[in-house]
């Protein structure tokens, strides 16, 4: 191969790699690990439940490039490894002091993402959308019910492309969801009480591959 041919070939390869990094329209998927704090409380001042937790996350979405910016529609399904919340170290099974969350089975985030390249494949982004949290919550001092909480999720993050198809991401998420319980009653718990909620804050590290 002549020197001219080699130059043409290398130029074409470089152009292909550059376009693969910058023009990233399409689907992506990934795996993540999170550490964070989950809190559950109600309008009553008598108590709240909380726990530090870690979790694994499945990620999937669709990304559309817009010059140096991008937007995406994304779903995250998060599974806490330690899912039990306690109040002053006491789990719901030993007696709840008011209506609050007891266990978390899973967290589903459905969100929009918008970001912009800073330099050399490093991107900053923000997220906003909905969150659904499934688990158990105390409806009285001795009773827990399955519940699905719905609310809003926001986040900020940064990601770095290491190959045309792989990115390492780090992001901070904040989720707020109201717990739905059909019957909350018990000593010291008034009727139509108590508007209990979940509040999660977590730091997530993930590896994402585009297709």
Would 66 be classed as within a structural domain? Answer: yes
Average pLDDT over residues 10-39: 68
Neighbour-count burial of 106, counting CB atoms closer than 10 A to its CB (0-12 exposed, 13-18 middle, 19+ buried):
middle
**Residue 90, pLDDT above cutoff 90:** no
The mean pLDDT value for 147-161 works out to: 93
Considering only residues 208 and 17, tell me which one the structure prediction assigns the higher pLDDT. 208
Report the b/e string of 189-206 with b at 16+ CB within 10 A: beeebbebbbbbebebeb
Separation between Cα atoms, residue 141 and residue 187, nearest integer Å: 8
For position 146, which CATH number holds? Answer: 2.40.160.20
Query: Which domain does 134 fall in, by range?
Result: 24-210
Confidence at 137, pLDDT banded by 50, 70, 90 = confident
**The two three-digit tokens of residue 88, written as one number:** 């002053």
Q: Is 67 helix (H, G, I), strand (E, B) or coil?
A: coil
**172: in domain:** yes
Number of Cβ within a 10 Å radius of residue 68:
12
**Is residue 180 in a domain?**
yes
Summarize pLDDT for 170-209 with one digit per residue, the tens.
Answer: 999 999 998 765 555 555 555 555 667 888 999 999 999 9
Q: Is the Cβ–Cβ distance between 59 and 31 less than 8 Å?
A: yes
In the chain, the number of structural domains is 1
pLDDT value of position 135: 83
Q: Assess if residue 97 is contained within a domain.
A: yes
In a domain, 100, yes or no: yes
Q: What is the DSSP letter of 92?
A: G
- Is 85 within the bounds of a domain? yes
Query: Is there a domain that residue 5 lies in?
Result: no
The answer as to whether 11 is a domain residue is no
């Amino acid at each position: 191969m002549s020197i001219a041919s080699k130059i043409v070939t290398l130029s074409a390869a470089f152009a292909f790699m550059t376009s693969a990094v910058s023009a990233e329209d399409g689907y992506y998927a990934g795996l993540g690990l999170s550490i964070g704090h989950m809190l559950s409380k109600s309008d009553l001042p008598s108590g709240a439940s909380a726990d530090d937790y870690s979790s694994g996350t499945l990620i999937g979405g669709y990304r559309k490039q817009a010059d140096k910016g991008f937007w995406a529609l994304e779903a995250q399904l998060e599974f806490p490894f330690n899912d039990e919340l306690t109040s002053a170290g006491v789990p719901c099974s030993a007696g709840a002091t008011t209506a609050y969350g007891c266990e978390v089975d899973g967290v589903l985030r459905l969100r929009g993402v918008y970001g912009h390249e800073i330099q050399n494949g490093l991107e900053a982004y923000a997220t906003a959308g909905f969150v659904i949290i499934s688990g158990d919550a105390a409806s009285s001092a001795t009773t827990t019910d399955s519940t699905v909480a719905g609310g809003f999720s926001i986040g900020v993050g940064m990601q770095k492309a290491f190959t045309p198809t792989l990115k390492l991401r780090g992001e901070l998420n904040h989720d707020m969801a109201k717990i739905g319980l059909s019957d909350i009653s018990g000593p010291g718990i008034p009727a139509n009480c108590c508007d209990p909620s979940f509040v999660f804050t977590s730091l997530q590290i993930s590896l994402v591959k585009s297709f």
